[in-house]
Structure 1
Amino acid sequence: MRKIIVLLCLLMTGKLFAQNIREVDICIYGGTSAGVIAGYTAKKMNKSVLIIEPGTRLGGLTSGGLGYTDIGNKYAITGISRDFYRRIGKHYGRFEQWIFEPGVAERTFQQYIKEGGVEVLYQQHITGAKKTGNRITEIQTGSTIIRAKMFIDCSYEGDLMAKAGISYTVGREDNAQYGETYNGVQLREKHQFPDGIDPYKEPGQPASGLLWGISPEQVEKQGAGNKKIQAYNFRICLTNQPDNLIPITQPEDYNPARYELLLRVVQKLQPKHLSGMLKIDLMPNHKTDINNNGPFSTDMIGMNYNYPEADYATREKITKDHELYNKGLLYFIGHDPRMPEHLRKEMLQWGYPKDEYPASGNWSPQMYVREARRMVGAYVMTQANCESREVVKDGIGMAAYTMDSHNCQRIVENGMVKNEGDVQIGGFGPYPIAYRSIIPKPEDCSNVFVPVCMSASHIAYGSIRMEPVFMVLAQSAAVAASIAIDSHQSVQDVDVSKLQALLRQKPLATDATPEILVDNDDATHVIMKGDWQKETKGAYGPTMFISNSAGSIRYTPEVTRTGTYKVYTYVPKRSDLPSSTHIRLSADGKTTQQVSYTPASIKVEGQTSGEWVDLGTIKLTKGGKAFVEITNEGKDGEVVADAVLFYPQ
Structure 2
Amino acid sequence: MKQLLITLLLFWSINVFAQQTYDIVIVGGTPGGLTTALAAAKLGKTSVILERTQHIGGLPSNGLGATDIVTRAATTGLFREFTCRIKDYYKKKYGMASTQYQRCDDGFRFEPSVAEQVFTDWLGEYKGLITVLTMRQFDSSPRNLKKVDDKIVQINILNRDKNTQEEYRGKIFIDATYEGDLAAAAGVPFRVGREGKNEFGEPGAGSVYKYWHGPEMDASTFIGDNAVQAYNYRLCLTRNPNNKVSITKPQNYDRNEYASIIDDVWTGRHTQAEMVNVTPEMLEANRKHIAKGNPTMIPGDKWGLGKVVNLVEIPNEKTDANNQHAAFVSSDLPEENWAWPTAGWAWRDKFATRLREYTEGLLWFAQNDKELPDHFRKATREWGYAKDEYTDNGHFPRQVYVREGRRFEGLHFFIASDAMPVKGGGRPPVYSSSITASHYGFDSHATHKREPGMVHLNGFLGYPTSPYTVPYGVIVPKDVDNLLFPVPISGSHIGFSTLRMEPCWMAMGQAAGVASSVAIDEKVKVKNINISMMQDVLLEQGTTLIYYKDVSLDDKDFSMVQYMGLRGFLPEWEARLDEAIEEQTLSYWKRLSKLNIKVQSGVSTRREVLNELYVKMKK
Fold match by TM threshold 0.5: yes
Residue 20 (structure 2) aligns with:
22
Kept in 2, the 8 Å contact 1:36–1:112? The answer is: no
Residue 352 (structure 1) aligns with:
385
Determine whether 1:273 maps to 2:310.
Answer: no
Structure 1: how far apart are the matches of 2:371 and 2:531? 60
Residue 181 (structure 1) aligns with:
203
| SS of 1:420 mapped into structure 2 | coil
Kept in 2, the 8 Å contact 1:248–1:331? The answer is: yes
**Inter-CA distance 26–353: structure 2 relative to 1 (3 Å threshold):** same
Alignment of 1:176-325 (within 5 A): 176-190=198-212, 222-269=221-268, 271=296, 273-274=303-304, 275-293=306-324, 294=326, 295-325=328-358
Alignment of 1:45-124 (within 5 A): 45-93=43-91, 96-117=106-127, 118-124=130-136
Structure 1: how far apart are the matches of 2:186 and 2:392? 33
Partner amino acid, structure 1, of 2:330:
S
Question: Displacement of 1:179 after TM fit?
Answer: 2.8
The runs of 5 or more residues in structure 2 that have no matched partner are: 1-7, 159-164, 269-285, 287-295, 297-301, 423-428, 545-551, 559-571, 581-604, 612-619
Residue 413 (structure 2) aligns with:
380
Structure 2: how far apart are the matches of 1:449 and 1:409? 32
Match of 1:407 among 430, 436, 446: 446
**Inter-CA distance 86–176: structure 2 relative to 1 (3 Å threshold):** same
Deviations for 1:465-485, whole angstroms, at most 9, x for unmatched residues?
100110011001100000000
Residue 584 (structure 2) aligns with:
none
Kept in 1, the 8 Å contact 2:209–2:220? The answer is: no
| SS of 1:152 mapped into structure 2 | strand
**Inter-CA distance 220–438: structure 2 relative to 1 (3 Å threshold):** farther
**Inter-CA distance 508–286: structure 2 relative to 1 (3 Å threshold):** same
| SS of 2:120 mapped into structure 1 | helix
Q: Which has more strand, going by share of residues?
A: 1
- Name the stretch that deviates more: 329-338 or 263-272: 263-272
Residue 395 (structure 1) aligns with:
434
Alignment of 1:625-636 (within 5 A): none
| SS of 1:432 mapped into structure 2 | strand
Structure 1: how far apart are the matches of 2:15 and 2:554? 53
Q: Number of matched residues?
A: 490
Structure 2: how far apart are the matches of 1:243 and 1:46? 46
Residue 530 (structure 2) aligns with:
495
Deviations for 1:304-341, whole angstroms, at most 9, x for unmatched residues?
01111111010001111111111111111001111111
Determine whether 1:136 maps to 2:152.
Answer: yes
**Inter-CA distance 175–391: structure 2 relative to 1 (3 Å threshold):** farther
| SS of 2:259 mapped into structure 1 | helix
Structure 2: how far apart are the matches of 1:385 and 1:508? 20
Partner amino acid, structure 2, of 1:120:
V
The runs of 5 or more residues in structure 1 that have no matched partner are: 1-10, 196-218, 529-553, 561-649
**Inter-CA distance 340–191: structure 2 relative to 1 (3 Å threshold):** farther
Alignment of 1:615-626 (within 5 A): none
Residue 451 (structure 1) aligns with:
486
Kept in 1, the 8 Å contact 2:76–2:543? The answer is: no
**Inter-CA distance 21–346: structure 2 relative to 1 (3 Å threshold):** same
Structure 1: how far apart are the matches of 2:608 and 2:32? 31
Kept in 2, the 8 Å contact 1:30–1:51? The answer is: yes
Structure 1: how far apart are the matches of 2:242 and 2:213? 35
When the two chains are superposed, the root-mean-square deviation of aligned CA atoms in Å is 2.9
Deviations for 1:80-131, whole angstroms, at most 9, x for unmatched residues?
1100001101112269320111111110000121012221111111131111
Query: How many percent identity over aligned positions?
Result: 34
Question: Displacement of 1:221 after TM fit?
Answer: 5.8
Determine whether 1:425 maps to 2:463.
Answer: yes
Kept in 2, the 8 Å contact 1:398–1:431? The answer is: yes
Match of 1:37 among 35, 59, 68: 35
Residue 176 (structure 2) aligns with:
154
**Inter-CA distance 527–175: structure 2 relative to 1 (3 Å threshold):** same
Residue 426 (structure 2) aligns with:
none
Kept in 2, the 8 Å contact 1:352–1:362? The answer is: yes
Question: Displacement of 1:556 after TM fit?
Answer: 9.3
Structure 2: how far apart are the matches of 1:517 and 1:59? 32
Structure 2: how far apart are the matches of 1:417 and 1:455? 32
Determine whether 1:505 maps to 2:519.
Answer: no
Question: Displacement of 1:418 after TM fit?
Answer: 5.1
Question: Displacement of 1:34 after TM fit?
Answer: 1.2
Question: Displacement of 1:388 after TM fit?
Answer: 3.4
Kept in 1, the 8 Å contact 2:194–2:493? The answer is: yes
Structure 1: how far apart are the matches of 2:228 and 2:188? 20
Kept in 2, the 8 Å contact 1:517–1:557? The answer is: no
Question: Displacement of 1:447 after TM fit?
Answer: 0.5
**Inter-CA distance 484–250: structure 2 relative to 1 (3 Å threshold):** same
**Inter-CA distance 73–416: structure 2 relative to 1 (3 Å threshold):** closer
Partner amino acid, structure 1, of 2:206:
G
Question: Displacement of 1:268 after TM fit?
Answer: 2.8
Deviations for 1:565-601, whole angstroms, at most 9, x for unmatched residues?
xxxxxxxxxxxxxxxxxxxxxxxxxxxxxxxxxxxxx
Question: Displacement of 1:132 after TM fit?
Answer: 0.9
Q: Which has the higher contact order (CA 8 A, sep 6+)?
A: 2
Residue 438 (structure 1) aligns with:
475
Structure 2: how far apart are the matches of 1:341 and 1:26? 57
Partner amino acid, structure 1, of 2:184:
A
| SS of 1:116 mapped into structure 2 | coil
Kept in 1, the 8 Å contact 2:195–2:205? The answer is: yes
Question: Displacement of 1:395 after TM fit?
Answer: 0.8
Question: Displacement of 1:181 after TM fit?
Answer: 2.9
| SS of 1:433 mapped into structure 2 | strand
| SS of 1:477 mapped into structure 2 | helix
Kept in 2, the 8 Å contact 1:191–1:422? The answer is: no
Structure 1: how far apart are the matches of 2:125 and 2:489? 28
Kept in 2, the 8 Å contact 1:410–1:418? The answer is: no
> TM-score, normalized by length of structure 1?
0.71
**Inter-CA distance 507–191: structure 2 relative to 1 (3 Å threshold):** closer
- Name the stretch that deviates more: 269-278 or 461-470: 269-278
**Inter-CA distance 220–416: structure 2 relative to 1 (3 Å threshold):** closer
Structure 1: how far apart are the matches of 2:413 and 2:518? 23
Alignment of 1:511-530 (within 5 A): 515-517=553-555, 521-527=573-579
Partner amino acid, structure 2, of 1:402:
G
Partner amino acid, structure 1, of 2:338:
Y
Question: Displacement of 1:411 after TM fit?
Answer: 5.5
Question: Displacement of 1:73 after TM fit?
Answer: 0.9
Structure 2: how far apart are the matches of 1:340 and 1:496? 61
> TM-score, normalized by length of structure 2?
0.75
**Inter-CA distance 40–523: structure 2 relative to 1 (3 Å threshold):** closer
Question: Displacement of 1:48 after TM fit?
Answer: 1.3
Residue 472 (structure 1) aligns with:
507
Partner amino acid, structure 1, of 2:189:
S
Structure 1: how far apart are the matches of 2:178 and 2:339? 15
Structure 1: how far apart are the matches of 2:203 and 2:510? 32
Partner amino acid, structure 1, of 2:53:
G
Question: Displacement of 1:557 after TM fit?
Answer: 12
